[in-house]
Chain A
Amino acid sequence: MNARPLPASLLDNPRLDRWIHFQPDRTVRIATGKVEMGQGVVTAIGQIAAEELDLPIDRVVVLSGDTTNGPDELYTTSSLSVEVSGGSVRLVCAEVRAKALERAALRLNCSRDDLSVVDGQFLQNGAATGQDYWTVAGEIDLTQAVTGAAPVKPASSYRVVGQSVPRFDLPAKLSGAAFVHDVLPKDVLHARTLRQPNRGATLASLDEAAIRRAAKGELQIVREANFVAFVSPIESVAQAAAAAAPAHAKWDNVRHLEAAHQEAAWLKGQASDDRRIGAWPAPATPPQHLVQMTVSRPYIAHASMSPSCALAEFRDGHLTVRSHGQGMHPLRKNLAAVLGLPVEAITAQHLHGAGCYGHNGADDAALDAALVAMRIPNRWIRLQWRREEEFGFEPVGPAMLVTLHVDLDERGRPADWTTEIWSPTHVQRPGTGSGYLLASEALAAPPPEVAPFDPSEERGGGGTRNAVPIYDVPAHRILHHLVVRPPVRTSALRGLGALPNVFAIESLIDDLAARAGEDPVAYRLSILSEPRARRLVELVAERAGWASRGPSGTGKGLGLAVARYKNRAAYAAVVAAVTVQETVKVDRVWCVADAGLVVNPDGARNQLEGGIVQAVSWTLKEQVKLDAEGIASRDWESYPILRFSEVPEMQVEFVDGAGNHTLGVGECTVGPTAAAIGNAVNHALGVRIHDMPLTRDRIMAALLKA
Chain B
Amino acid sequence: MAIAFTVNGEPKSVEAAETATLLDVLRNHLGLMGTRYGCGLEQCGSCIVLVDGQPAYACTREVGTVADRKVTTVEGLGTPARPHPLQQAFLDEQAGQCGYCLSGIVMSAKALLDRNPAPSRGDIVAALDRHLCRCGAHQRILRAVERAAATLRNGGRA
B97 engages A641 (CB within 8 Å): no
- Is A177 positioned at the interface, with any CB of B under 8 Å from its CB? yes
How far apart are the CA atoms of A606 and B141 in the complex, in Å? 12
The answer to whether A306 touches B135 (Cβ under 8 A) is no
With A174-B83, A174-B103, A307-B38 already in contact, 14 other A-B pairs whose C-beta atoms are closer than 8 Å: A37-B98, A38-B99, A173-B96, A175-B77, A175-B83, A181-B36, A184-B33, A235-B27, A354-B100, A355-B98, A355-B100, A384-B37, A610-B135, A644-B128
**With A176-B75, A179-B100, A606-B140 in contact, do A171 and B129 touch (Cβ < 8 Å)?**
no
Shortest distance between the CB of A17 and any CB in chain B (Å)? 30
> Can you name the residue of chain A whose Cβ is closest to the Cβ of B42?
A636
State how many angstroms separate the Cβ of A58 from the closest Cβ of chain B: 13
- Is B113 among interface residues, defined by CB-CB distance under 8 A? no
A650 on the interface (CB 8 Å rule)? yes
Interface string of A160-175 (1 = CB under 8 A from B): 0000101101111111
Chain A proximity of B57: nearest CB distance (Å): 13
Nearest A-chain residue to B98, judged by Cβ: A38
Q: Which residue in B98, B125, B140 is a CB contact (below 8 Å) of A352?
A: B98
Find chain A residues with CB under 8 A from B139 CB. 609, 647, 649-650
A627 to chain B, nearest CB (A): 19
Answer whether residue B28 sits at the interface, using C-beta atoms and an 8 A cutoff: yes
| Segment with Cβ contacts to A, from B64-72, B87-95, B150-158 | B87-95
Decide if A25 is an interface residue (CB 8 Å cutoff).
no
Residue of A176, A184, A647 with most partner-chain B CB within 10 A: A176
Q: Is the CB of B137 within 8 A of A610?
A: yes
Collect the chain B residues with CB atoms within 8 Å of residue A166's CB. 91, 94
Q: Is the CB of A174 within 8 A of B136?
A: no
Which of A125-133, A362-370, A399-407, A611-619 contacts its partner? A611-619
Q: Is the CB of A171 within 8 A of B32?
A: no
B41 at the interface (CB under 8 A from A): yes
Pair B136/A236 contact, Cβ less than 8 Å: no
Contacts A184-B31, A613-B136, A641-B132; A38 near B125 (Cβ below 8 A): no
Contact across chains for B99 and A174 when beta carbons are under 8 A apart: yes
Per the bound structure, the CA–CA distance linking A176 and B98 in Å amounts to 14
Q: Does B9 contact A (CB under 8 A)?
A: no
| Cα A610 to Cα B134 with chains together (Å) | 8
| A644 and B125 contacting across the interface, CB-CB below 8 Å | yes
Interface residues of A (CB under 8 A from B): 37-40, 164, 166-167, 169-179, 181-182, 184, 234-236, 303-307, 352-355, 357, 384, 386-387, 602-603, 606, 609-614, 617, 635-637, 641-645, 647, 649-650
Task: Name 23 A/B residue pairs within 8 A (Cβ), A-sorted.
Answer: A164-B94, A174-B74, A174-B87, A174-B90, A174-B91, A174-B103, A175-B34, A176-B74, A176-B75, A177-B33, A182-B33, A184-B31, A235-B28, A236-B24, A306-B37, A306-B46, A354-B101, A355-B134, A609-B136, A610-B135, A614-B135, A635-B39, A644-B142
- The answer to whether B129 touches A644, judged by C-beta atoms less than 8 angstroms apart, is yes
Q: In the complex the two chains form, is A636's CB within 8 Å of B83's CB?
A: no
CA distance A641 to B135 in the complex (A): 11
- Contact between chains at A609 and B98 (CB < 8 Å): no
Q: In whole angstroms, what is the CA distance A610 to B138 when docked?
A: 9
Inter-chain CA distance A120–B40, complex, in Å, is 49
A606 — which chain B residues lie within 8 A by C-beta?
94, 97, 137, 140
The verdict on A307 contacting B103 (CB below 8 Å), with A175-B83, A354-B98 known, is no
Q: Are A38 and B91 touching (Cβ within 8 A)? A: no
Q: Give CA–CA (A374, B157) in the complex, Å.
A: 54
Question: Given the known A-B contacts A176-B33, A611-B136, A647-B139, are A38 and B97 also in contact in the complex, defined by CB atoms under 8 Å?
Answer: yes
- Which 3 A-B residue pairs are closest in the complex by CB-CB distance? A613-B136, A38-B98, A173-B99
Do the beta carbons of A173 and B134 come within 8 Å of each other?
no
Interface residues on B, range: 35 or more
CB neighbours (8 Å) of A353 from chain B are: 98, 100
Which residues between 82 and 140 of chain B lie within 8 Å of chain A, taking CB atoms? 83, 87, 90-91, 94, 96-103, 106, 125-126, 128-129, 131-140
Q: Are A636 and B100 in contact (CB under 8 A)?
A: no
Q: Say yes or no: B91 contacts A305, CB within 8 Å.
A: no
Please give, as numbers and ranges, the residues of chain A lying within 8 Å of B43 by CB-CB distance.
Answer: 635-637
Query: Could you say which residues of chain A place their CB within 8 Å of the CB of B34?
Result: 175-178, 182
Q: Is the CB of A636 within 8 A of B132?
A: yes
B37 neighbours in A (Cβ, 8 Å): 181, 306-307, 384
Minimum C-beta distance from B54 to chain A (A): 19
In the assembled complex, the CB of A183 is this many whole angstroms from the nearest CB of chain B, namely 8
Question: In the complex, what residue of chain B is closest to A164 when comparing beta carbons?
Answer: B94
Closest Cβ of chain A: how far from B76's Cβ, in Å?
A: 10
Distance A228 CA – B37 CA, assembled complex (angstroms): 23
Task: Determine chain A's interface SS by DSSP, over half rule.
Answer: loop
Cross-chain contact B36 with A306 (CB below 8 angstroms): yes
Q: Does B3 contact A (CB under 8 A)?
A: no
**Assembly CA distance A592 to B75 (angstroms):** 39
B20 within 8 A of A: yes
Q: Which of A184, A386, A603, A641 contacts B94 (CB 8 A)?
A: A603
B90 shortest CB reach to chain A, Å = 6
Whether B38 pairs with A305 at a CB distance below 8 angstroms is yes
Q: Which residues of A lie under 8 Å from residue B129 when comparing CB positions?
A: 643-645
What residue of chain B has the Cβ atom nearest to residue A39's Cβ?
Answer: B97
Q: How far is the CA of A387 from the CA of B59 in the complex (A)?
A: 12
* Chain A residues near B140 (CB-CB < 8 A): 606, 609
CB < 8 Å: which of B21, B40, B74, B125 contacts A175? Answer: B74
Contact A304 B134 (CB under 8 A): yes
- In the complex, the answer to whether B96 meets A636 with C-beta atoms within 8 Å is no
Question: A234 vs B94: C-alpha distance in the bound complex, in angstroms?
Answer: 36
Using Cβ atoms and an 8 Å threshold, which residues of chain A touch B135?
38, 355, 610, 613-614
Contact B134 A171 (CB under 8 A): no
Tell whether, in the assembled complex, residue A645 and residue B32 are in contact, meaning their CB atoms are under 8 Å apart. no
Q: How far is the CA of A571 from the CA of B75 in the complex (A)?
A: 41
A305 in contact with B44 given A171-B91, A175-B74 (CB within 8 Å): yes
A81 → B minimal CB distance (Å): 14
Cα A172 to Cα B132 with chains together (Å): 20
Partner of A636, one of B44, B125, B136: B44
Closest-CB distance, A552 to chain B (whole angstroms): 29
Tell me, in angstroms, the Cα distance from A118 to B82 when the chains sit together: 30
Question: Which residues of B, 15-62, contact A by the 8 Å Cβ criterion?
Answer: 20-21, 24, 27-28, 31-34, 36-41, 43-44, 46
Residues of B near A386 (CB, < 8 A) are: 40
Q: Which residues of chain B are near A612, meaning CB under 8 Å?
A: 136
| Whole-angstrom distance between the Cβ of B72 and the nearest chain A Cβ | 13
Cross-chain contact A173 with B136 (CB below 8 angstroms): no
In the bound assembly, the distance between CA atoms of A431 and B131 in angstroms comes to 36
A617 to B137, CA, bound (A): 13
Q: Is B11 an interface residue (CB 8 A)?
A: no
Chain B residues, CB < 8 A from A37: 98
Q: With a CB–CB cut-off of 8 A, which chain B residues contact A235?
A: 24, 27-28
* Min C-beta distance of A620 to chain B, whole Å: 13
Cα of A176 to Cα of B91 in the assembled complex, Å: 14
Chain B residue nearest in CB terms to A611: B136
In the complex, which residues of chain A have a beta carbon less than 8 angstroms from the beta carbon of B38?
305-307, 387
**Residue of B whose beta carbon sits closest to that of A173:** B99
Q: How far is the CB of B93 from chain A (nearest CB, A)?
A: 9
Q: Please measure, in the bound complex, the distance between the C-alpha atom of A642 and the C-alpha atom of B132, giving whole angstroms.
A: 8
For the complex formed, measure the closest distance between the CB of B45 and the CB atoms of chain A, giving whole angstroms: 10
Given contacts A304-B134, A305-B44, A636-B43, contact A170 B100 (CB under 8 A): no
Among A303, A635, A644, the residue within 8 A (CB) of B134 is A303
Q: Which residue of B lies closest to A354 (CB)?
A: B100
Whether B75 lies near A175 (C-beta < 8 A) is: yes
A170 with B142: in contact, given A39-B97, A305-B98, A387-B41 (CB under 8 Å)?
Answer: no
